[in-house]
Structure 1
């Protein structure tokens, strides 16, 4: 029974760590609130959809723009569809960039949690 020990370390100014021991496995963890976990989960879903929509729009619009560019006759002006495709590529890139920024914000939050864990060890 003594092998299955759950103990909490001292609380520091930056937070606390918890050391769990089960058999021969010892693991240090940092407590994270339920709200933080929910926020990280929701932002990952947003990132997925932003990247998925951006990839679809950019790929489709770029493909169609190239097709319209290559199919036109010599001296023929570019069709309005070509210009609409370029706008769609730009908008898709903006949505993809927004998804990337969302990823960076979530990564920064996780890094802060890990930094607090590392600062407590020293």
Structure 2
């Protein structure tokens, strides 16, 4: 909560954490994806990030590479995406003082896939 409060004082609505090795881990209530050279990446579960349902579904439905990289790689990424059950797939507009295209082209495609596939989750089982 301290990190989120700090982020909000700076005009943000999420804070991102690294693991003890300095690799990207997760947000306070989100999983983080980022794009480098057109490739969608997200930390492995070994980073300590929450094994979020939305994270897993985006990997299954859209694809991406699970990799543990220094936080600086994500901070310099072409695009950054936050995912959670309350945010779905959301492009990040700013990382610290760096403006980002949001949604960028990969984020847009991921959002489109999410919108197309999400109704599968909303079907009510029959009795």
TM range (shorter): under 0.3
Structure ranking higher in strand proportion: 2
Instruction: Say which one has the larger Rg.
Output: 1
Structure ranking higher in helix proportion: 1
Q: TM-score, normalised to structure 2's length?
A: 0.24
